[in-house]
Structure 1
Amino acid sequence: MTQWYQLQQLDSKHLEQVHQLYDDSFPMEIRQYLAQWLENQDWEHAANNVSFATLLFHDLLSQLDDQFSRFLIENNFLLQHNIRKSKRNLQDNFQEDPIHMAMIIHNCLKEERKILNSAQASNEMEVGSVQNTATGMPCKQKELDAKVRAVKSSVTDAEQDIKTLEDMQDEYDFKCKTLQNREHESNNMSQEEYKKEQLNLQHMFLSLDCKRKEVVNKIVQLLHNTEHTQAALINDELVEWKHRQQTACIGGPPNACLDQLQNWFTIVAESLQQVRQQLKKLEELEQKFTYDPDPITKNKQFLQDLTHKLFQQLIQSSFVVERQPCMPTHPQRPLVLKTGVQFTVKLRLLVKLQELNYNLKVKVLFDKYVLSMNVRFNYIFYLFLCRFRKFNILGTNTKVMNMEESTNGSLAAEFRHLQLKEQKNTGSRTNEGPLIVTEELHSLSFETQLCQPGLVIDLEVS
């Protein structure tokens, strides 16, 4: 990740300090256009060596020429004007004194690092303050929190690597086209010059190939780390929460809040969504330029399938019953329902993505799996099941999940006015005595479907 990219992520207070570093003598637009090249040069040495400073000065002008040619191809008149003006200013100010330019650039980069360190120190103080308020968090959860944050950080790093790869590929493509155009000019290049350019292109291609392999390997490692972190979320933390919920339903202590779990699920989901976009970008780069063996071509299907599998698994696991069915008249007895009496139930999606707001329509189903149970279990249990009464659900049995309905802004759907009514078969006796509560066990199921471009996921919880 380049220093310039890190600076752009800072808050407004620190960004203002960055703005104050640059003026017309060395404008910020040059810093922006040539960020990686500038950071790769030894400006401290150049500030003390006139020969090296002169060499870097001419290299800088050459870099600006390349940038101007790109704007020329893009037909961007305004940026052509700006880059040409910046080059003239550099020549006017530093042609006779390249050491002065090297000193300015060295000082700017040094001050940028100070600003970054200051911002990092402020951030660490804030994080430390938050951590001090959460000293009650168990060590296992602290470790999991660190893993989730590491996933997010890795995705950010991959984003910058892909941007660097795109810049390298654009530069390689530009150099190839430039060489082809020069070959067709009337005053052809000398053989020696042509070989030199070909060798330069070969080196650029090797660097490009290495960068592609590096990016692909980083995404593979990122997805494997995400898989392990996600497994801990789903198989450990979520299972423990459901167990605590079951205990609370039979008189145990109140269940813990879902907010921390939602925070982790959301960070991982956002990271996977970002990886999906990164893979699309890699595919675009592959379509523009490919070769054999191309690491993107070789690995893209595996990466796409793994990302889809992880996102689907995470979304499906995040669909939970936050508050079990309960009659308002008996709030201390969840899961015990009477026919003809209204009850409420609340669902929640632990992945809080803005694009899902008002996009998930949930439907309630009653005893969806009784028939399959009849088939699976033995004949005696089948006869026992046949004694169960059948019910219809009255009230609104569909609801759209949204963030406005919940007090904490989570993506939720609450069914407030549901009730059960028994189905009466023709000719059935109506004077049978009432069944006691424990004689019948039924289930409520909730279904919805997530639809996004290139992605359809069925969600269900009961």
Structure 2
Amino acid sequence: MAMWIQAQQLQGEALHQMQALYGQHFPIEVRHYLAQWIESQLWDSVELDNPAEETKAKRLLDNLVTELQRKAQLQGGEDGFLLKIKLGHYASQLKSTYDRCPLELVRCIKHILHSEQRLVQEATNASCGSGGQAMDTLSQRHQQINQAFEELRLATQETENELRKLQHSQEYFIIQYQENLRIQAQLSSLSSLPPAERTQRETTLQSKRATVEAWLTREASTLQKYRLNLSEQHQKTLGLLRKQQTLILDEELIQWKRRQQLAGNGGPHEGGLDVLQSWCEKLADLIWQNRQQIRRCEHLTQQLPLPGPMEELLSKLNSDITDIISALVTSTFIIEKQPPQVLKTQTKFAATVRLLVGGKLNVHMNPPQVKAVIVSEQQAKALLKNESTHSESSGEILNNNCVMEYHQATGTLSAHFRNMSLKRIKRSDRRGAESVTEEKFTVLFESQFSVGGNELVFHVKTLSLPVVVIVHGSQDNNATATVLWDNAFAEPGRVPFIVPDKVLWPQLCEALDMKYKAEMHSGRGLSEDNLVFLAQKAFTSSSNNPEDYHNMTISWAQFNRESLPGRNFTFWQWFDGVVELMKKHLKPHWNDGAILGFVNKQQAQDMLLSKPNGTFLLRFSDSEIGGITIAWVAENPNKPGERLVWNLLPYTTKDFSIRSLADRISDLNHLLFLYPDRPKDEVFAKYYTPPLSKVLCGMSGRFTTPNPEPSGGTSTFMDQTASPSVSHPNNFGVYPSDSMLDPDGDFDLEDTMDVARHVEELLRRPLANQWSSQQS
């Protein structure tokens, strides 16, 4: 209800915009009396493009109607009688309107709530500015655009008034001209009269004719001056329209598209399309009004030709304003919801296109059809250069035709492609070391429609963001690298789909941080230390100074074509493996700050050796994609008084699919404190599996228990299934044999056992016996 309280405080133009959101499709009284209920519902959880969500939308509609009916019944007394009838009527009206299309109700309310939020925010920013604080850039830009619209509105109103004056003056001129013709006819008929009478009448008529002709001469000059002045006013208005349109289309819309592209890397895409549509609709309305004025002026000129350059001037004005409206229509045919940028064949995908001025130009009166085809990079270049007039295809998309639908509640005209599928793809010859996952395609959407009674016909096209086509999930990792690089470093207005081969390291850091934060769904991204670690990995450097990397460049080959030294994977493949592991299994622990992650083995050793025995940390494996290892400090069993840092062989997604990180840490009794000094149960206990579930699921047996030392004098680990209720000694002095060390000095506590087999054996044994054997 807080939003509605703030919305009621709006004033001036903002208040008018808020009121315009409501109507028969959703009465403002419903918003007022159900404000708290409306704002408490999860409207944004409904996916409007998913028909399966219709059940959820229907439930919201039914609940809304029920709430209205309940509110109506609560009205009593003489004053409440009319309100009771009105609310009951609205309940029936909404039920009738949206019962067959409940998703449209959700679309309508989402549009209203988002618009109210925007208006309130803009008003808040403006009030802060008036109080002496600097308004943010966004508010200043919006204010500039709104002021320009007001100036255009006044200019258009002025030319309308002048045009009416011209029309009235011209109509009076024509009447006087007809009067002159009548006098001329009377003079011609005087020959039949007697001479005396003829002379008297002739003198009177000639005097009258002279007066009228003098007036006509003066008025013709005045009319010509009016026409020229009106033409100049229209030229000025067209200049303002061009300037405003350039600001909206070449700046605001381009910025929206850029935000949409960065959203593909996890950046915030704050919407704003409804605001853009309102601006584009205002532009369309003003352009169309001025175009109609110019055409009326042309008609007046044809009706009463006068000497002068008016025909040429009006022809030029007509041509200019037609160009302006053509640019507006073709530029506002946009992709609201992009197809997936990694596109797998034989897999269903969706997309939505929208014409931002469709409702204002009444395009929906004859709904146009939109077609989608997939084209190569070269075909896209040819289309943008107008070298290709027909849509060549590089593949076959099923369900690629869709009719645009007009949603009255939101005033949007859009086509929702819900069930497209790429049946096949035709690849071009690859260049040099380029792989199939570096080849870019794009989905071309095109349509044709007319406005003004077929007066203007538009053929519109728009290209999706670049897509990489894969045929197997194993290609997803490298395809994502291509998409991330393109989204991060594409320049506005580029030739498809050129991106720099090298970028500054801080630029790549920004892209990686954006991706990481998005996957973690958290504000905790990559710290400066994390980025230094990544720089050391990317450049095979040992410097810990962030400044050393600020002016360094990283190439695409270094990013995802050349393997890291001594490894069989690239920098990106390693990073993406970390992201996937964290996203699927370790996100809560990262957001809790429990995982340091980006720490190498030497750093881990330096950090842990200064801490008490049993202190441990979690770091990402250098040697394995998507692996995380536990490093901890303990005494060396072979050299009393010496302390060592040990590292487990990395855990991967496969391991955490069997048993969670928290439970594995719980199992390892020699791990006591999470670096720097947090008791492990304080950090991980909330994620532990309940005790009985642990036994039933099969514990991993990661407790280390000393065995009698073999003849070689080294200690080994033995797998032991145990209940967490059983106490275990501190096992700091128990370490693996050399045979369990990996080439990097890591080892695995369970590499001698098959976990699946262990669980199977455990479940075949009586629990009572198992508990007994554990305690013994």
TM-score, length basis structure 1? 0.60
2: distance between equivalents of 1:285 and 1:277? 12
2: distance between equivalents of 1:158 and 1:195? 34
AA partner of residue 396 (structure 2):
N
Q: Percent identity?
A: 25
SS class of match (1:337): strand
AA partner of residue 408 (structure 1):
T
Name the structure 2 match of 1:403. 406
1: distance between equivalents of 2:410 and 2:437? 36
SS class of match (2:217): helix
- Structure 2 gaps of 5+ residues are 1-118, 127-135, 191-200, 385-392, 428-433, 464-776
SS class of match (2:344): coil
Q: Does the 8 A contact of 2:173 with 2:216 survive in 1?
A: yes
Are residues 215 and 372 of structure 1, via their aligned partners in 2, closer, same or farther at CA, if it must alter by over 3 Å?
Answer: closer
SS class of match (2:234): helix
Q: Does the 8 A contact of 1:340 with 1:420 survive in 2?
A: yes
Name the structure 2 match of 1:26. none
Give the alignment of 1:43-122 within 5 angstroms. Answer: none
Are residues 307 and 423 of structure 1, via their aligned partners in 2, closer, same or farther at CA, if it must alter by over 3 Å?
Answer: closer
SS class of match (1:254): coil
Q: Does the 8 A contact of 2:295 with 2:318 survive in 1?
A: no
Name the structure 2 match of 1:224. 239
2: distance between equivalents of 1:266 and 1:320? 14
Are residues 407 and 398 of structure 1, via their aligned partners in 2, closer, same or farther at CA, if it must alter by over 3 Å?
Answer: farther
Name the structure 1 match of 2:362. 355
After TM superposition, give the deviation of residue 436 of structure 1 in Å.
Answer: 9.1
1: distance between equivalents of 2:343 and 2:205? 91
Are residues 359 and 210 of structure 1, via their aligned partners in 2, closer, same or farther at CA, if it must alter by over 3 Å?
Answer: same
1:336 lines up with 2:338 in the alignment = no
2: distance between equivalents of 1:373 and 1:211? 48
Are residues 423 and 195 of structure 1, via their aligned partners in 2, closer, same or farther at CA, if it must alter by over 3 Å?
Answer: closer
2: distance between equivalents of 1:368 and 1:152? 44
1:413-461, CA deviations, whole angstroms, 9 ceiling, x for partnerless residues?
Answer: 1100011122599xxxxxxxxx998344321010112323332222111
AA partner of residue 139 (structure 1):
Q
Name the structure 2 match of 1:345. 351
Name the structure 2 match of 1:321. 335
Name the structure 1 match of 2:159. 158
1:355-397, CA deviations, whole angstroms, 9 ceiling, x for partnerless residues?
Answer: 2114322110111554576999xxxxxxxxxxxx9642112x1
After TM superposition, give the deviation of residue 337 of structure 1 in Å.
Answer: 2.2
Are residues 141 and 424 of structure 1, via their aligned partners in 2, closer, same or farther at CA, if it must alter by over 3 Å?
Answer: closer
AA partner of residue 351 (structure 2):
V
Name the structure 1 match of 2:149. 148
2: distance between equivalents of 1:141 and 1:277? 28
After TM superposition, give the deviation of residue 299 of structure 1 in Å.
Answer: 0.3
AA partner of residue 447 (structure 1):
E
Are residues 271 and 398 of structure 1, via their aligned partners in 2, closer, same or farther at CA, if it must alter by over 3 Å?
Answer: same
Are residues 373 and 312 of structure 1, via their aligned partners in 2, closer, same or farther at CA, if it must alter by over 3 Å?
Answer: closer
Higher relative contact order (CA 8 A, sep 6+): 1
AA partner of residue 337 (structure 1):
L
AA partner of residue 402 (structure 1):
E
Name the structure 1 match of 2:442. 443
SS class of match (1:403): strand
Q: Does the 8 A contact of 1:152 with 1:267 survive in 2?
A: no
Q: Does the 8 A contact of 2:371 with 2:402 survive in 1?
A: yes
2: distance between equivalents of 1:166 and 1:407? 39
Name the structure 2 match of 1:366. 374
1:77-99, CA deviations, whole angstroms, 9 ceiling, x for partnerless residues?
Answer: xxxxxxxxxxxxxxxxxxxxxxx
Name the structure 2 match of 1:292. 307
Backbone CA RMSD of aligned residues: 3.1
Name the structure 2 match of 1:379. none
Are residues 133 and 175 of structure 1, via their aligned partners in 2, closer, same or farther at CA, if it must alter by over 3 Å?
Answer: farther
Q: Does the 8 A contact of 1:248 with 1:255 survive in 2?
A: no
TM-score, length basis structure 2? 0.36
Q: Does the 8 A contact of 1:282 with 1:296 survive in 2?
A: no
SS class of match (1:305): helix
SS class of match (1:325): coil
Are residues 345 and 150 of structure 1, via their aligned partners in 2, closer, same or farther at CA, if it must alter by over 3 Å?
Answer: same
1:205 lines up with 2:220 in the alignment = yes
Are residues 156 and 368 of structure 1, via their aligned partners in 2, closer, same or farther at CA, if it must alter by over 3 Å?
Answer: farther
Name the structure 2 match of 1:393. 397
1:222-247, CA deviations, whole angstroms, 9 ceiling, x for partnerless residues?
Answer: 11111111111111111111111111
Name the structure 2 match of 1:171. 172
2: distance between equivalents of 1:374 and 1:202? 58
Are residues 156 and 424 of structure 1, via their aligned partners in 2, closer, same or farther at CA, if it must alter by over 3 Å?
Answer: closer
1: distance between equivalents of 2:182 and 2:419? 74
Are residues 155 and 146 of structure 1, via their aligned partners in 2, closer, same or farther at CA, if it must alter by over 3 Å?
Answer: same
Name the structure 2 match of 1:302. 316
Q: Does the 8 A contact of 1:360 with 1:401 survive in 2?
A: yes
Structure showing greater radius of gyration is 2
SS class of match (1:443): strand
1:396-415, CA deviations, whole angstroms, 9 ceiling, x for partnerless residues?
Answer: x11122222x8623111110
Are residues 129 and 153 of structure 1, via their aligned partners in 2, closer, same or farther at CA, if it must alter by over 3 Å?
Answer: farther
Are residues 450 and 375 of structure 1, via their aligned partners in 2, closer, same or farther at CA, if it must alter by over 3 Å?
Answer: closer
Are residues 371 and 138 of structure 1, via their aligned partners in 2, closer, same or farther at CA, if it must alter by over 3 Å?
Answer: closer
After TM superposition, give the deviation of residue 134 of structure 1 in Å.
Answer: 6.5
1: distance between equivalents of 2:363 and 2:293? 21
Are residues 325 and 229 of structure 1, via their aligned partners in 2, closer, same or farther at CA, if it must alter by over 3 Å?
Answer: same
Q: Does the 8 A contact of 1:151 with 1:268 survive in 2?
A: no
Name the structure 2 match of 1:260. 275
2: distance between equivalents of 1:360 and 1:366? 20
Are residues 134 and 157 of structure 1, via their aligned partners in 2, closer, same or farther at CA, if it must alter by over 3 Å?
Answer: farther
- Structure 1 gaps of 5+ residues are 1-127, 327-334, 377-388, 426-434
Name the structure 2 match of 1:242. 257
2: distance between equivalents of 1:344 and 1:324? 8
1:26-72, CA deviations, whole angstroms, 9 ceiling, x for partnerless residues?
Answer: xxxxxxxxxxxxxxxxxxxxxxxxxxxxxxxxxxxxxxxxxxxxxxx
Name the structure 1 match of 2:184. 183
Q: Does the 8 A contact of 2:169 with 2:223 survive in 1?
A: yes
**How many residues are matched?**
303
- More displaced stretch, 223-232 vs 183-192: 183-192
Q: Does the 8 A contact of 1:344 with 1:415 survive in 2?
A: yes
Name the structure 2 match of 1:419. 421
1: distance between equivalents of 2:122 and 2:378? 48
After TM superposition, give the deviation of residue 143 of structure 1 in Å.
Answer: 0.5
2: distance between equivalents of 1:416 and 1:233? 30
1:132 lines up with 2:131 in the alignment = no
Are residues 373 and 154 of structure 1, via their aligned partners in 2, closer, same or farther at CA, if it must alter by over 3 Å?
Answer: closer
Are residues 393 and 208 of structure 1, via their aligned partners in 2, closer, same or farther at CA, if it must alter by over 3 Å?
Answer: same
